[in-house]
Amino acid sequence: MNSSPRIASLGEGQVLAGSYLLLRCQLANTRNGKPYGALRLGDRSGEIEGRLWEQAEEVLAPLKPGMVVQAQGRVESYQGRLQVVLESLAASGDEQQASEFLPASDIPLVELQKGLDAALARITQRDLKRLLESIFVRDQAFARAFAQAPAAKGAHHAYVHGLIEHTVSVAGLAQILAAHYGSQLQAELLLAGALLHDIGKVAELTLGPPIDYTDAGRLEGHLVLGVRMLDDNLAKLKVFPELLAEQLRHLILSHHGAYEFGSPRRPKTAEALALNFIDDLDAKLFMAAEARRQAGEGHWSEYNRLLERFLYVGPSALEGRAEAERPRPALARPEAAGPSLFDSRSEAEET
């Protein structure tokens, strides 16, 4: 267990001292041509930029990203952001696993797994049920990898258990839309798409550390990898309706919504349109919540490159709003949408 001061708890003027994960390190030069170390440290609570002004070449030579290091320095504010000016930095001599320093979901894995199980239990159509159980239940190696995987390298839910958290959240949104639009949407097809849309990320991303893309992830991407995984599981079932298989493939391939966002096909079914929007909604609201969490005393976030805008993080227009937290997928929903995904009791038990 790492007992070093948590990065998220550090403020200007405080001392950072202890074991941290080295996420990035490189030599750069000052305007006068003097080499210095530009690096980034992380732990489960967050990350911080670092600068090493003295003996940078000698100190950084044996280090590489993914190593656990012993670091000491003072936290300063530079251009409105915190960074640590390091006095010492060296490879850690202890046996702590680098994975212990990776950020993880705030939601306990057991709670996320209950949410996933409850979503799977809502699938009653025979062919979909066989397929989803083949992937998420019978393939134990995949199930373990899915539960551990991040949902992204940096955009949203970029931490241990991030993929299952994002998937359960999108599945909850799928229920809400299906209840609201009724016969306009095939509820179980949309829910199946929500559960399957990012399965390729298990092969696209590695926890490292640090979290990064695999070779297959860079060369093919999680949409293509996801369809390949889907087809591998369909082959195991031997008999499966081809039209249903095509619609599932389309849900995966089109869920980014546009060619410029990586989808080889744009959504062409009602369910694909819905999946694209709820996937995008979950990611963007996560970014907005993170901007509020990381904001200082001002009313505006730093510029968000992915959203291409600043976000207002000042006082709420309504009274009683709590401080921002990471969004949790246990959303309040209309009675028509049924119980929460995190309530895994069956309808029979509730009656």
The runs of H, that is alpha helices, within 76-221 are 109-121, 126-133, 140-148, 162-181, 187-196, 201-204, 215-219
Tens digits of per-residue pLDDT, 6-60? 888 888 899 999 999 998 899 999 998 899 999 999 888 888 999 999 999 999 9
Position 122 confidence tier, pLDDT thresholds 50, 70, 90: very high
Tokens 């297959």: give the residue.
Answer: 216
Q: Distance between the two ends of the chain, CA-based, in angstroms?
A: 44
pTM exceeds 0.85, yes or no: no
Q: Residue 325: how many CB atoms within 10 A of its CB? A: 10
Tokens of 205: 């991303």
CATH class of 7-100: mainly beta
Containing H/E element for 325?
Answer: none
Q: Give me the residues paired with residue 52 across strands.
A: 37
Q: In angstroms, how far is CA 5 from the centroid of its own chain? A: 24
Cβ 103 vs Cβ 161: under 8 Å:
no
If you ran DSSP here, which 8-state letter would residue 115 be given?
Answer: H
Distance CA 101, CA 19 (A): 9
pLDDT of residue 342: 42
Position 340 confidence tier, pLDDT thresholds 50, 70, 90: very low
